[in-house]
Structure 1
Amino acid sequence: MTSEPPLDQLSAHGVVQRLLDAETRVVPAVRTASRSIADAAELIAARMAGGGRLVLIGAGTSGRLAVLQAAELPGTFGLDRDRIVARTAGGGAGGLTGSDGDEDDEDAGRADLRETGFAAADTLVAVAASGRTPYTLAAASLARSSGGAVVSVTTQGESPLGDLADVAVELRIGTEALRGSTRLTAGTATKLALDAMTTTAMVRLGRVHGDLMIDVVPANTKLRARSAGLVAEIVGCPDSRALEALDACDGNARAAVLVLTSGLEPSHAASVAAEHRTLRAALAVLR
């Protein structure tokens, strides 16, 4: 039986193929963890519904993926930006790059978590491919002792970080094509798990209508058109009419739907929308 040639003896096309072949392990590994991902989503949704925040933390690639989640969720799901917070080792408030040298700094992990204002009502998603990063372990331990909930996301089983967690998401992806480079297969699996976890939590919080991003923030021309389009789809009206209603409701798509379906004034429609967790529930009371 012949072994495969090492990466540095492959053509460029051969390297690309080897890397992509490794990625085929990602979805099966994440599917194996689907129950724990769903449990984590339910935990996050329940605690956010009670007023808690979602805090994500990690170091290196794991930290950068944590920060990416925090950057994307508010605009996609219409959340106040202070409801989702993230830190990566060495990155500071709002930092993305971070520093590899800070991964071993336990004091920095604790300080960064304190700086977020982490409270007992909050949920910490602690991300570490190895499950052993000192910075992340220290933050998770402090979160646990503060009374908060902890979700771990690792690409190893039976890790110290997983032992600390209320819900441990373990993505067992095996050896990297480029050994030790967790920005590759481990990073892909981690992002996929985080995307599934947070999107499911937002669905459970009522931030999705059907398969539509009902609370997307229409912050630019593209997103304004997208928001008007989903209003038009729900109501069954031309996009131009939906856009007029959306503008009258200051970009509140839920209120725009209620204006078009029930004839409410924009301010009243906004009040009715705010009284219900889902747009579906608001529509039901107006029938």
Structure 2
Amino acid sequence: MSDVPHTEGTPAISTLATETSNPATADIDRMSPLEVVQALNAEDAKVARAVELVLPEVARAIEAIADRMSQGGRLIYIGAGTSGRLGILDASECPPTFGTSPEQIVGLIAGGPIATASAVEDAEDNPAAGRAELEHLRLTELDTVVGIAASGRTPYVLGAIEYAKNQGALTIGLACNQHSPLERRVEIAIVPLVGPEAITGSTRLKSGTAQKMVLNMLSTGTMVLLGKTYGNLMVDVVATNYKLEQRASSIVQQATGLDRAQAVALLRSTQGETKTAIVVGRLHVSPDVARAQLAAHNHNLRNTLEAMQS
């Protein structure tokens, strides 16, 4: 029998907005292929507006996350099913984009790694498993835990959030239904209300799209605040393949005004460190001086350049 907490006053799942039937798609099985995709597209068009309405909460979240990460804290996503997979996706894309270590931004899913490719549906019913995942990570008050659950009531996520609160970590909830147990238990609740899904209860659709948009903002906004960009250039990109090498070269060219050959030579002289190459190219100092100055300014490229040019 599943270890499912029953919260007094929690409504039946059938009453949740994301579980109710959508009249706009009630006859979707009678539609032509073009009508089907038009109906889906019309529903998806509502997602951006739902996310727009929660931007103040997202902004508050990134400010709080960045403050903790600047002191050595981690960003940890935890969810089940689609929600868990989206968290893992966002976490996994941060190291090559922003030069973070895999330990800094972590994605956890009910059922473990196998659940990223195959559904392990009953794993979400165990709050103790959520707690155990975070116990293994040895949370501190500098860490942030983002519980992701479209319903806002997934036991695995709620168990993790309760443990995170007890450890003093910042707790953020990302749900798509109002007044959920998750919303009530976290410090910052982000609740884009996308309404009924095109296919009743299929929260991989609008809910998943909204969650992906918010997670993009959480990680990207946090990285911007931490100085991982210069303008809109990803100056901490890790050039681990040909495409990323080309991207790093282009970034150096844009930031320094040098041509491609000069940018490639600079990157070689700085062991592929994009920020270091830009400082060298802009200020004509040695790589060691550039690295020392970047370290002195918390690796913020703009602050480093402004301080050295003043």
Q: Report the TM-score range of the alignment, normalised by the length of the smaller protein.
A: over 0.9
| Cα displacement string for residues 70-112 of structure 1 (whole angstroms, at most 9, x for unaligned residues) | 10112111111111111100024x9623511101011111111
Aligned-residue offset at 1:255: 0.6
Does residue 46 of structure 1 match 2:67? yes
How far 1:213 sits from its partner (Å)?
Answer: 0.5
Contact 1:124–1:151 (CA<8 Å) still a contact in 2?
A: yes
Alignment of 1:109-258 (within 5 A): 109-258=130-279
Matched, 1:72 2:54: no
Q: Which amino acid in the other structure matches residue 281 of structure 1?
A: N
Q: CA deviation at 1:58?
A: 0.3
Question: How far does residue 3 in structure 1 lie from its aligned partner after superposition?
Answer: 7.6
1:89 aligns with 2:115: no
Aligned-pair CA distance for 1:4:
6.3
How far, CA to CA, are the matches of 1:189 and 1:21 in structure 2?
14
User: Partners in 2 of 1:243 and 1:162 — Cα distance?
Assistant: 49
Letter matched to residue 180 of structure 2: S
Contact map agreement 2:24 2:39 (CA 8 A) in 1: no
Residue identity over aligned pairs, in percent, reads: 38
- Please give the root-mean-square deviation of Cα atoms over the aligned residues, in Å: 1.6
State the partner residue of 2:10: none
- What residue in structure 1 maps to residue 7 of structure 2? none
The counterpart of 1:279, out of the listed 293, 297, 301, is: 301
Distance 1:261 1:212 in 2: 15
AA in 1 matched with 2:221: T
Judged with a 3 Å threshold, the aligned counterparts in structure 2 of structure 1 residues 132 and 172 are, in CA distance, closer, same or farther, namely: same
- Kindly provide the amino acid, as one letter, of the partner of residue 144 in structure 1: K
Name the SS for the 1:90 alignment partner: coil
* Aligned partner of residue 131 in structure 1, secondary structure: coil
Amino acid at match of 1:110: R
Output the CA distance in 2 between the equivalents of 1:236 and 1:44.
34
> After alignment, is 225-234 or 113-122 more displaced?
113-122
Using the TM superposition, give the Cα deviation of residue 119 of structure 1 relative to its aligned residue in structure 2, in angstroms.
Answer: 2.1
The one-letter code of the counterpart of 2:129 is: A
Shift of 1:274: 2.1
Kept after mapping to 1: 8 A contact 2:99/2:236 = yes
Confirm or deny: 8 A CA contact 1:87 1:95 kept in the other structure. Answer: no
**Partner SS state of residue 286, structure 1:** helix
Counterpart residue type for residue 100 of structure 1: E
Distance 1:4 1:286 in 2: 60
The one-letter amino acid of 1:228's match is: S
- Alignment deviations for residues 217-243 of structure 1 (CA, whole Å, 9 cap, x no partner): 111111111111111111111021011
Q: Which stretches in structure 2 are left out of the alignment for 5+ residues?
A: 1-22
Q: Residue type of the partner of 1:70?
A: A
In the alignment, structure 1 residue 264 sits paired with structure 2 residue 285: yes
The answer (yes or no) to whether the contact 1:85–1:116 under 8 Å persists in 2 is no
Unaligned stretches of 5+ residues in structure 1: none
Determine the C-alpha separation between the residues in 2 that align with 1:24 and 1:111: 38
Letter in 1 for 2:116: L
Relative distance call for 1:240 and 1:21 in structure 2 (3 A) is same
Paired with 2:24 and 2:82, the residues of 1 have a C-alpha distance of: 30
For 1:105-155, what per-residue CA distance to the aligned partner results, in whole angstroms no more than 9, with x for missing partners?
111111112223322210001100010000000001100011100011000
Question: 1:5 Cα deviation (Å)?
Answer: 5.3
Q: TM-score, normalised by structure 1?
A: 0.95
Asked whether the 8 Å contact 1:55–1:118 carries over to 2, the reply is no
- In the superposition, relative to structure 1, how do residues 231 and 95 fare at CA in structure 2: closer, same or farther (>3 Å)? farther
